[in-house]
Structure 1
Amino acid sequence: MSQFTVIGGGIIGASTAYHLIKQGHEVTVYDRNDRGNATGASAGIINPWVSQRRNKKWYRLVTKAARYYPGFIGQLEEETDSETGYTRRGSISLFKDDDVLELAFNRISKKKTDAPEMGEVKMLSREEVKDYHPHLSDKYSGVYVEGGAQVKGALLRDSLKKAFIKAGGTWIDKNPPETTEGMTIYATGAWGSEQGFKPVITHQRSEVLHFKVEEAEVVKTPVVMALGPIYIVEMGDNEFAIGTTHQKTESYDDSPSEENYQYLRGLAERYFPDSKLTDIRMMVGFKPYTRDFLPFIGHVDENTFVINGAGATGLTAGPFIGHEVARFLSGEETDLDLSDYSYVEPENN
């Protein structure tokens, strides 16, 4: 048994601590629960197969992470008897141009050979999109991926914390002491710049509008990948979130901006043109990045380990990263080659 201190209780820190305690180690988490943490503000889309990113190391990570999710969630919910907000109702990627639709269908379908967990992949006409998601505009055709899912970050983090404490872990909601025993693991997200480790961590500000559709009938809907970097996810009965705006910043001010509210409200009205919409709230989160948008996972020195830079895929990758890091630090074989993510200056490949 070894002794570990985890600094940061977001999804990656909580997952790492949970998996380490399951390995039989002594683990303490320190979390100051900063406002604007990405875990609490993110919509939690698990749908990596539709991405057009060409970074193979990133793609290996997120597809293995998506494959890991169902079994992980089943185990966690059984251990805690609590909700994680995980649902798997598929995803729809929207298109206005039918030629682009066909190209996208072909591109996404090819990935199923190596990722059977994607399930069925099919093209949807404008009428079929409305069948899957009655609230949406009828102006878009789409590609449906059966395996698309989502998870609510705050609920998942709370479930991990509950399971961690139940297994004998110590969770302290404050800053860590200046010195800690054993190995220290930093999973501090957007606040990683405070430690000054390489690679440099920067962050982007993301804003999400939560709103309600005023309809008597409740319809359960897939995740929607709309035009551009926009997503629409169901957050409750006839409640949805639409995002996201990404802005580079050095600030940690989590106050919503009027400009982004107006932008997102306009998008909500565009995609739900026939519905009466009522605002619920705006949420702001800070997502951590490295220069090349590839997470860093590795030793800084013999007693210091860092996990950071997961960016917009933190909730997709977090549970699996925690599993793999716990195995690695326990001297066990990992499914992911962590040397791909232990770098100072990453490469674009």
Structure 2
Amino acid sequence: MSTFSIIGGGIAGASIAYHLAKSNHNVTVYDRSDKGQATTASAGIICPWISQRRNKKWYRLVTEGARYYPDFIQELEMKTKQSTDYRRNGAICLFKDDHIQQLAFERISAKQEVSPEMGDVRKMSKAEVKEMHPHLTDYYPAVYVEGGGQISGKSLLNALKEAILFHGGKWINQDISPTSCDGKVIYTAGAWAGEYSSNPIVRHQRAELLHLKINGSTPAKQTPVVMGLGPMYIVETGSNQYAIGTTHEDTEDFSITPSLENQQYLHGEAERYFPDVVLDDQFMSVGLRPFTRDSLPYIGYSEDGVFVVNGLGSTGLTCGPVIGREVAAYLNGEETILNLKDYAY
């Protein structure tokens, strides 16, 4: 049994801690509860197969993450008796016209052979979109991906914390330096990593989501994730409640004060996708997403021997659980499914 100190209680740190504690190691998580943590602010969409990114190392990571999710959640919820609000409720991907829809359908469905977990992929007419999601506009054709889903970052972290404690681990809410920790140190400080080290270089984006409610309308049945035109998405967060996002702002600032300009922009986008209902803004959530080189997560040792995981970006909730599994296997001297050398650039 080894001793591990993990600094940072976002999805990466919590998942690594859980998988190490499950392997009977002595694990302590130190987290200072920074406001703006990306995990709790994220919309939590799990649907990597629709991406057009060409980085094969990134794509292997996120698709393995999606493949791992159902078993991971089942084990976690059974162990803790807590809900993570994970729903494999499908994804409606909207496109501006029939031609673009056809190209997208061919591109996405071609991935089914190597990713059967994505389930059924089919084109949807405008009428079929409206039938599946009554509040949504019927202006655009779509492609439906059955395996798409969503997770609540906050609920997932709560369950992981409970599971870490269940396996004898500790969770301490305090600031600490890697040089003050016992045992092997794993540094997962997200956007704040530069406070300790500049290797790897971590930058961050400020991302804002608008949470809103549909008033005066019959609640729709449980609805799929909606991937809109461009970098815009909508997720259901409750009965007739949705979150729409996101904005992207490269910044060196750590402020999480919502922007009125961004709220107005997102409200306008919501009216575009929900044109026939009355929308009532509830609140804005702000997250600071960490990125490393080429927007590819860094997983490996820094120059001073600290094991670093960072740069999960906008897909942290997709790949965080599987990173925990793979890092724990690596540190246990076991075979990994992913080649972690790909991420230790």
Q: Indicate the residue corresponding to 2:183 in structure 1.
A: 182
Residue 187 of structure 2 aligns with an amino acid whose one-letter code is: Y
Distance in structure 2 (CA, Å) of the matches to 1:149 and 1:211: 20
1:197 shift after superposition:
3.5
Match of 1:261 in 2: 263
CA distance in 1, matches of 2:339, 2:307: 16
Alignment of 1:201-280 (within 5 A): 201-214=202-215, 215-280=217-282
The corresponding residue for 1:150 is 150
What amino acid does structure 2 have at the position aligned with 1:320? V
Q: What are the superposed Cα offsets for residues 187-225 of structure 1, whole Å, 9 maximum, x if unpaired?
A: 111111212242200000000000011223332100010
Which residue number corresponds to residue 56 of structure 2? Answer: 56
Q: Tell me which residue corresponds to 1:139.
A: 139
After superposition, give the CA deviation of every residue in 1:85-124 in whole Å (9 maximum; x if it has no partner).
Answer: 1001100110121101000000000000100001000000
Instruction: Kindly provide the amino acid, as one letter, of the partner of residue 182 in structure 1.
Output: G
| Structure 1 runs of 4+ with >6 Å offset | none
Amino acid at match of 1:40: T
Gaps of 5+ in 1: 344-349
The answer to whether 1:83 aligns with 2:91 is: no
**TM-score, with normalisation over the residues of structure 1?**
0.97
Please state how far the C-alpha of 1:278 moved relative to its aligned partner.
Answer: 1.2
1:334 aligns with 2:336: yes
**Counterparts of 1:39-54 in structure 2 under 5 Å?**
39-54=39-54
Count of residue pairs the alignment pairs up: 343
Q: What SS does structure 1 have at the residue aligned with 2:255?
A: coil
CA shift for structure 1 position 276: 1.1
Q: Percentage identity across aligned positions?
A: 57
The residue that corresponds to 1:347 in the other structure is none
Unmatched tracts of structure 2, length 5 or more = none
Distance in 2 between residues matched to 1:185 and 1:197, nearest whole Å: 15
Alpha-carbon distance in 2 for matches of 1:170, 1:217: 42
3-state DSSP of counterpart to 1:84: coil
Query: What's the CA shift for 1:302?
Result: 6.9
Distance 1:14 1:268 in 2: 33
Supply the distance in 1 between the matched residues of 2:75 and 2:238 (Cα, whole angstroms).
23
> Structure 2 CA distance, aligned partners of 1:195 and 1:111?
40
CA contact (8 A) 2:94 2:143 kept: yes
Taking structure 2 as the reference length, what is the TM-score of the superposition? 0.98
Counterparts of 1:314 and 1:59, CA distance in 2: 13
Distance across 1 between alignment mates of 2:279 and 2:260: 18
Q: How does 1:31-42 map to 2 (within 5 A)?
A: 31-42=31-42
**Contact 1:219 1:238 (C-alpha < 8 Å) held by counterparts:** no
- Partner in structure 1 of residue 302 of structure 2: 300
In the other structure, the counterpart of 2:95 is: 95
What is the alpha-carbon distance in structure 1 between the residues aligned to residue 303 and residue 157 of structure 2?
28
SS at match of 1:253: coil
Residue 111 of structure 2 aligns to which amino acid in structure 1?
K
Q: Which residue of 2 aligns with 1:191?
A: 192
SS for the counterpart of 2:293 is: coil
For residues 224 and 218 of structure 1, the distance between their equivalents in structure 2, rounded to whole angstroms, comes to: 14
The one-letter amino acid paired with 1:74 is: Q
Q: Which sits farther off after the overlay, 294-303 or 70-79?
A: 294-303
CA distance in 2, matches of 1:90, 1:255: 32
The answer to whether the 8 A contact 1:197-1:300 is kept is no
- The 2-side partners of 1:5 and 1:169 are apart by 10
Counterpart position of 1:346: none
Partner of 2:161: 161
Query: Using the alignment, how far apart are the partners of 2:9 and 2:142 within structure 1?
Result: 37
For the 8 Å contact 1:182–1:303, the answer to whether it is kept is no
Matched, 1:172 2:183: no
* Distance in 1 (alpha carbons) for counterparts of 2:320 and 2:198: 20
Instruction: State the AA in 1 paired with 2:67.
Output: R
d(CA) in 1 for partners of 2:190, 2:131: 39
Report the Cα offset of residue 301 of structure 1: 4.5
Specify the alignment match of 2:68 in structure 1. Answer: 68
Which residue type is aligned with residue 337 of structure 2? D
SS at match of 2:122: strand
After the TM superposition, which of the residue ranges 229-238 and 215-224 deviates more from structure 2?
A: 215-224
SS of 1:129's equivalent in the other structure is helix
Q: CA deviation at 1:303?
A: 4.0
